[in-house]
């Protein structure tokens, strides 16, 4: 088991650029609820779980039943947009997925997205056979920067956190990787500051040995509160 090398992929903003489809789906769904939202409101919550976003927008009317109904409507519209218009991987993604697969790395999706969304996206990318595990919103209780999603993903792959590399585009995701005791690669397409071990604007900028070299680096001290999650 100690020989297992794992890459844990965030999805939105890392594998794909899904921002526009998410915005359209949220905008149209909230208009039907007669609660218009601005692009700024959307961006302030982009990447968070639906059960964290909707109470902010629904206010006193945010009952569990309404949150579930509105969230389901939004995600259904989002999937319809992908099926209608397709989805392309971000630059460098397809090549790295294949290279890592061919070189014996295990790979998992570790995302706060609903499982149905992930499956539709992987089908659109023709990448359904690349990943050995998919961790979705249904598999975890806490969102990033809590490390739960990455720890669950590593466990599914039977990989030690110290031999796992997280690929992320968000500050919360990079922090979650740090708390999990994992290496991280930050994809900063918009020039935002990410405290990852390696930061690139595109995965195309990585060297052919970047993942192997990173795995050999010493990790900083782990958060003591998560030391009991190391897979053995």
Q: Are residues 59 and 151 in the same domain?
A: no
Task: Tell me the C-alpha distance between 121 and 79, whole Å.
Answer: 8
232 in a structural domain: no
The tens digit of pLDDT for each residue in 14-23 reads 999 999 999 9
| Residues facing 134 on adjacent strands | 109
Q: Would you say residue 3 has pLDDT above 60?
A: yes
pLDDT of res. 221:
58
Q: Are residues 96 and 156 in the same domain?
A: yes
Q: Are residues 124 and 39 in the same domain?
A: no
Q: Are residues 12 and 77 in the same domain?
A: no
Q: Would you say residue 1 has pLDDT above 60?
A: no
**What phi and psi, each to the nearest 5 degrees, are found at residue 200?**
-135, 160
139 in a structural domain: yes
Q: Are residues 80 and 172 in the same domain?
A: no
Q: Are residues 126 and 176 in the same domain?
A: yes
135 in a structural domain: yes
174 in a structural domain: yes
Q: Are residues 131 and 214 in the same domain?
A: yes
Q: Are residues 101 and 195 in the same domain?
A: yes
Q: By percentage, how much of the chain surpasses pLDDT 90?
A: 87
Task: Tell me the C-alpha distance between 196 and 186, whole Å.
Answer: 5
229 in a structural domain: no
The tens digit of pLDDT for each residue in 149-188 reads 999 999 999 999 999 999 999 999 999 999 999 999 999 9
Q: Are residues 52 and 110 in the same domain?
A: no
Total domains in the fold of the chain: 2
Q: Would you say residue 129 has pLDDT above 50?
A: yes
Q: Are residues 65 and 180 in the same domain?
A: no
User: Is the N-terminal amide bond of 103 cis, ω within 30° of 0?
Assistant: no
Residue ending a domain, choose from 67, 85, 103: 85
Q: Which residues make Cβ contacts (< 8 Å) with residue 73, sequence separation at least 6?
A: 29, 32
56: containing domain: 19-85
The CATH number that applies at residue 107 is 3.40.50.1000
Starting at the edge strand that comes first in sequence, how are the strands of the sheet with 164-168 ordered? Answer: 133-135, 106-110, 6-9, 164-168, 183-187, 198-200
Contact 185, 197 (CB under 8 A): yes
């Amino acid at each position: 088991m100690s020989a297992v090398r794992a890459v844990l992929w965030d999805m939105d903003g890392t594998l794909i650029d899904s921002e526009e489809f998410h915005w359209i789906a949220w905008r149209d769904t909230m208009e039907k609820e007669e609660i218009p939202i601005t692009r700024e409101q959307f961006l302030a919550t982009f990447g968070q779980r639906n059960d964290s976003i909707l109470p902010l927008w629904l206010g006193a009317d945010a009952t569990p039943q309404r949150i579930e109904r509105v969230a389901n409507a939004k995600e259904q519209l989002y999937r319809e947009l992908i099926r209608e218009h397709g989805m392309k991987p971000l630059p460098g993604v397809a090549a790295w997925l294949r290279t890592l697969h061919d070189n014996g790395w295990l790979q998992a999706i570790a995302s706060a997205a609903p499982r149905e969304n992930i499956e539709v996206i992987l089908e659109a990318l023709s990448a359904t056979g690349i990943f050995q595990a998919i961790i979705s919103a249904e598999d975890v209780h806490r969102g990033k920067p809590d490390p739960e999603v990455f720890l669950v993903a590593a466990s599914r792959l039977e990989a030690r956190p110290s031999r796992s590399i997280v690929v992320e585009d968000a500050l919360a995701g990079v922090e979650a990787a740090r708390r999990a005791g994992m290496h991280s690669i930050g994809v900063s397409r918009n020039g935002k500051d990410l405290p990852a071990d390696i930061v690139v604007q595109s995965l195309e900028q990585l060297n052919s040995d970047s993942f192997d070299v990173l795995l050999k680096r010493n990790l900083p001290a782990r958060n003591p509160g998560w030391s009991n999650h190391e897979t053995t």
